[in-house]
Each structure stands twice: as structure tokens, then as C-alpha cells.
Amino acid sequence: MKPELVSFKICPFVQRSVIVLKEKGADYDITYINLKEPPEWFREISPLGKVPLLKVGDAVVFESAVIMEYLDEVNPPSLHPTDPLRKAHNRAWIEFASTLFMCQFNMVMAKEQEACDSAEQELRDKLKLVDAQLAGPFFNGNDFSLVDAAYAPLFMRMALLEQWCPMGLMEGLPKMQVWSETLLARPAVQNSVVDELPQLYRGHIGSSGGYGAKRFGTDNT
């Protein structure tokens, strides 16, 4: 059955699912909503009021990591390592990626400089922890895995932020730099967002109106 992904154009969590769908060459529909004014039908079916949602027939699946797992299972071969312990390890680091998304979000949307600096430091500290896990060029070595799909949206936004406000977040992390470049060169990653993502993302940051907006955003929304 063809799934329908409910999306917000700049959401990194949604992007994870799109990367998996593209890597698998799976057929899907995508419906964009405006999270600032979510439609009634979305409120009715989204238990947390968050995207992504994956509609499959009458079923609604939420939480991006769960959606990725489902898409991986129904579109074999699996992108997870086969060894159970390695798979559990990968799942743990997928969970960790979500905390990095939040650091990045808190940094760019910070109202005050102190909050922005503290989120940036937390992001740097966490990137170091991830770097120590990398086999290279992908997370597990030579093959692309689900865990790579989970981190790629972070790197896409980091690359944009570095263009707008160089921070050297990858300095001293050469393995991570290779990982990021390898992921961002991948067609499934490049085609996982709308063309206007940079402008939308920057405008969204700019519209928050605080310190992060001045540092990273534009006021063209």
C-alpha cells in the first residue's frame, strides 16, 4: 500500500523518512502542512501534534525513528546492521541524533545570546561524542545505514548555518567532516528536501526575532 507522509517543509525529522523512502526507491505521496496553522484533519490524527506522520491505509504512524524502521522493514533489504547488538547500538545513536536536532533548533531560535551560546556548546560537545562512534566514511563503515539517514538532516542544516555564520562546528572532527560530505553528496539526501529549503529555513529562523535570528536568519518572511 502506498504510504502518505505528512510533512512540514523544513522539518528535519520528516526529512529522515524521505531519505529512507528515496534510498529504497519506494513510491509515496507527500502532503505539506503549515505547522503554525495545522489543518483540522491533522489535529485529529496526530497524537502529539507533530510531523512526521505516516498514513498507511487507515493506520497512522508517528515518531520519525519508528517511521524509518517501518519503511525499512517493508522495503527490504534492511538498511540496519544484521548483528543484534550493533543494531541496538545504531538505534541508540539514532535516538541521540534527535537531541542534536534540538540543540541546533535551540541555538538558531534562541532569544538571548546566553541561550544561543549554551546550545552551541552542547551541540559541539555532542558532536564529539558522535564522532568517536564513527567507522567512516559512513557511521558503520562502507555501507549506508538507517543511522546515516537519521543524521543527514542535521548536517544539511549545519552546512547552511556555516555558510551564513561560520562557526567551525566540524573543526577537529575530520571523520565527521567526511561523513557529512559523503552524506550531503548522496542523491537520496539531496532530493529529500524542497528546492527552497535554504530560504525557508533562514526565513523561519529570522521570523523568531531573537539573538539567533540576528545571527543566522533573515527578516524576509
Ligand X SMILES: N[C@@H](CCC(=O)N[C@@H](CS)C(=O)NCC(=O)O)C(=O)O
Say which DSSP state 9 is in: T
Longest dimension (CA), the chain: 49
Under the binding rule (CB under 6 A), the answer on residue 215 touching ligand X is: no
Does residue 103 have an active-site annotation? no
Residue (50 or 80) nearer to ligand X, CB: 50
Residue 60 β-bridge partners: 55
Under the binding rule (CB under 6 A), the answer on residue 8 touching ligand X is: yes
Query: For 172, phi and psi rounded to 5 degrees?
Result: 80, 5
Report the nearest approach of ligand X to the CB of residue 66 (Å). Answer: 8
Under the binding rule (CB under 6 A), the answer on residue 13 touching ligand X is: yes
Residue (98 or 133) nearer to ligand X, CB: 98
DSSP per residue, 52-109: -EEEETTEEEESHHHHHHHHHHHSSSPSS-SSHHHHHHHHHHHHHHHHHHHHHHHHHT
Residue (43 or 84) nearer to ligand X, CB: 43
Which residue out of 11, 103, 116, 165 is catalytically annotated?
11
Under the binding rule (CB under 6 A), the answer on residue 50 touching ligand X is: yes
Tell which one of 30, 33, 35, 60 touches ligand X (CB under 6 A): 35
Span 65-84, contacts to ligand X by CB under 6 A: 65
Taking the C-alpha atoms of residue 147 and residue 158, their distance in angstroms, rounded to an integer, is: 17
Span 94-133, contacts to ligand X by CB under 6 A: 98
Q: Catalogue the active-site residues.
A: 11
